[in-house]
Amino acid sequence: MGAVSTPVVENTRLTAADRCDRCGAQAHLRVRLASGGTLLFCAHHARAHAEKIKEVAVRLEGDTSLLS
């Protein structure tokens, strides 16, 4: 553990019911953590936290182009 690994990517579309944990806007990216938790990010916050997200994610769902 602790090594940086490439997260699994699923091009799942999130729905309007998925809301950013930070600001409540519609989420475009769901991040699953090794701990089993899930975080949701809007486009703005996905970009703002892209580096951290790539560090902690074991699985990414949604618009992963936001992280590049």
By CB under 5 A, name the binding residues for Zn ion.
Answer: 20, 22-23, 25, 42, 45
CB of 56 to Zn ion, least distance (A): 17
Nearer to Zn ion (CB atom), residue 5 or residue 24: 24
User: CA-CA-CA-CA torsion for 44, 45, 47, 53, nearest 10 degrees?
Assistant: -160
Distance, first Cα to last Cα, the chain: 24
Q: Which residue in the block uniquely carries the two structure tokens 């996905």?
A: 46
Q: Compare residues 20 and 39 and give the one whose CB is closer to Zn ion.
A: 20
* Closest to Zn ion by CB, 1 or 39: 39
